[in-house]
């Protein structure tokens, strides 16, 4: 059985699944219950500057009857008294010495303010500190949260103020509300950070009620931007994770990264690990389904690791990173085409509509001429098998560019697959090609000449 335990910047936990700093980690009673369920760690809901929260606090994105594809929150950091939080942190660590207890903190950009809060956190016996440089709502207007994370100089300075006065591992939580995630990561490392975590929530407005015309969530008839999280942000989180894990400066530092942003299943968790995360933080899924999801997360990940021969989390971490490339490093000669399994096709014609209207017009609707295609029991004909005379989508492979739009819109798993076929061209990347023949990137005439030379036809 796979060993799920981790050592993250000196912080040990029995599995890589931590509850992220958020409402699920608002109190000692909650975290105690989460640990009873089996969570490996928790990042305490951010403590620090005094705040007043509002209500309503949450909005969400639901599509096609699927609830909470993403959540939008306008909640601030902990509004519970600082002394209460600190007392409960100490109690939880005393009761659960084998679990990771990390305290998220946010104070004014002042060295004394940071020193004061850090000393208080150290006294609790907590395992580490996470510096919240990510919250995009409320606190950023006060010069904290994302206001620090978006300015590399401030990120470095604030981090230095903390690392210079504490013996605890310091994790810097990065904001995704920035053009280039690598810049604040470098700043955090220059400030002495022992680890990084990402992503925090994305600035957003999720919805306007078309009946009332109110922005949701509506707070006394007014709305504001909030932090966007949940399954819908996972691709953004994975991209930013790979940006860091393929950056030479981050790699040289050797610091671990705690990944979060849309982790709802063990499959999501495995993807984050494969792209370089070495601990995992979960929030929205727990808010939607409760702490009980930890069983599915640990069992699913463990079974998958067993199936693939991975003995430890370290064996998984970063295994897919060597595949990452810039566009210029991709093989221009690679050719794929779409193939449709007519035995699985339900005749919805979504692939045809998508290809014909918005892609490359290489799917035709072809009548089977009265020939039965996967006949089946039909209640309307008392079970008699009848010929299916509906036109069926058929790919013209000679014109297919392998864009894969049809495979993505098809509602039937495995009905449309992308199959690699010989292109007849020698392998070459854009970087290699333009180094050899720079005129191709400068002149359409040169580009066309090259296409004719190697047999590339654009229809």
Could you give the CA distance from residue 116 to residue 165 in angstroms, rounded to a whole number? 10
* Contacts (Cβ under 8 Å, ≥6 apart) of 436: none
Angle made by CA atoms 236, 241, 246, in degrees to the nearest 5:
130
Q: How many Å from the N-terminal Cα to the C-terminal Cα in the chain?
A: 53
The position carrying tokens 């608002």 is 26
Active-site option among 135, 155, 283, 351: 135
Among this protein's residues, is 135 annotated catalytic? yes
Pairing relationship of beta strands 170-173 and 195-198 according to DSSP bridges: parallel
Distance CA 248, CA 192 (A): 17
Q: What is the pLDDT of residue 385?
A: 53
Angstrom CA distances, 305 to 7, 17, 270, 294, 408, stand at 18, 15, 9, 16, 27
Cα gap 214→92, rounded to integer Å: 42
* Strand 41-48 to 100-106 pairing: parallel
Burial of 292 (0-12, 13-18, 19+ CB in 10 A): exposed
Output the CA torsion sign for 79, 82, 88, 94.
positive
Please report the pLDDT score of residue 374 as a whole number: 41
423, with CB counted inside 10 A (0-12, 13-18, 19+), is middle
Tokens of 318: 């970063």
- Rounded CA separation 291/215 (Å): 30
Query: Residue 155's pLDDT is what?
Result: 97
Cα(94)–Cα(101) distance, integer angstroms: 10
pLDDT at residue number 388: 64
**Bond prior to 217 in cis (omega within 30° of 0):** yes
Measure the CA angle with vertex 26, ends 25 and 29; round to 5°.
Answer: 85
Angle at 457 between CA 452 and CA 459, to 5 degrees: 145
Q: Which tokens belong to 90?
A: 């100490």
**Low-confidence spans in the chain with pLDDT less than 50:** 370-381
The SS3 assignment for 197 reads strand
């Amino acid at each position: 059985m796979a060993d799920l335990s981790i050592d993250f910047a000196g912080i040990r936990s029995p599995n890589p699944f931590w509850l992220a700093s958020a409402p699920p980690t608002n109190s000692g009673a909650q975290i105690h219950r989460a640990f009873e369920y089996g969570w490996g760690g928790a990042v305490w809901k951010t403590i620090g500057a005094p705040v007043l929260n509002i209500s309503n606090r949450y909005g969400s994105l639901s599509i096609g009857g699927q609830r909470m594809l993403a959540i939008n929150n306008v909640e601030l950091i902990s509004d519970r008294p600082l002394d209460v939080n600190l007392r409960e942190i100490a109690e939880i660590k005393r009761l659960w010495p084998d679990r990771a207890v990390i305290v998220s903190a946010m104070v004014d950009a002042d060295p004394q303010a940071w020193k004061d809060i850090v000393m208080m956190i150290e006294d609790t016996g907590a395992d580490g500190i996470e510096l919240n440089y990510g919250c995009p709502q409320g606190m950023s207007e006060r010069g904290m949260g994302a206001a620090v994370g978006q300015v590399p100089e401030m990120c470095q300075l604030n981090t230095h103020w903390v690392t210079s006065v504490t013996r605890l591992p310091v994790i810097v939580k990065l904001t995704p509300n920035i053009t280039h995630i690598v810049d604040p990561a470098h700043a955090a490392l220059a400030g002495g950070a022992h680890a990084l975590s990402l992503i925090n929530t994305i600035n957003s407005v999720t919805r306007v009620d078309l009946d009332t015309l109110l922005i949701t969530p509506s707070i006394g008839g007014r709305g504001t931007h909030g932090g966007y999280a949940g399954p819908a942000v996972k691709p953004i989180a994975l991209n930013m994770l790979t940006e860091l894990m393929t950056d030479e400066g981050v790699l040289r530092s050797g610091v671990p990264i705690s990944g979060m942003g849309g982790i709802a299943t063990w499959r999501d968790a495995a993807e984050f690990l494969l792209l370089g995360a070495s601990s995992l933080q979960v929030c929205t899924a727990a808010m939607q389904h409760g702490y009980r999801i930890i069983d599915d997360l640990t069992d699913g990940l463990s079974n998958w690791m067993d199936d693939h021969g991975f003995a430890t989390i370290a064996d998984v971490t970063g295994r897919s990173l060597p595949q990452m490339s810039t566009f210029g490093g991709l093989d221009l000669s690679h050719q794929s085409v779409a193939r449709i399994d007519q035995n699985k096709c339900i005749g919805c014609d979504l692939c045809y509509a998508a290809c014909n209207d918005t892609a490359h017009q290489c799917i035709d609707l072809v009548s089977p001429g009265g020939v039965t295609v996967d006949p089946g029991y039909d209640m309307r004909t008392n079970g008699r098998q009848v010929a299916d005379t509906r036109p069926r989508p058929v790919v013209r492979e000679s014109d297919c560019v392998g864009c894969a739009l049809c495979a993505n819109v098809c509602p039937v798993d495995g009905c449309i697959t992308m199959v690699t076929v010989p292109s007849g061209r020698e392998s070459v990347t854009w970087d290699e090609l333009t180094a050899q023949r720079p005129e191709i990137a400068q002149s359409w005439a040169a580009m066309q000449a090259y296409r004719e030379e190697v047999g590339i036809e654009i229809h």
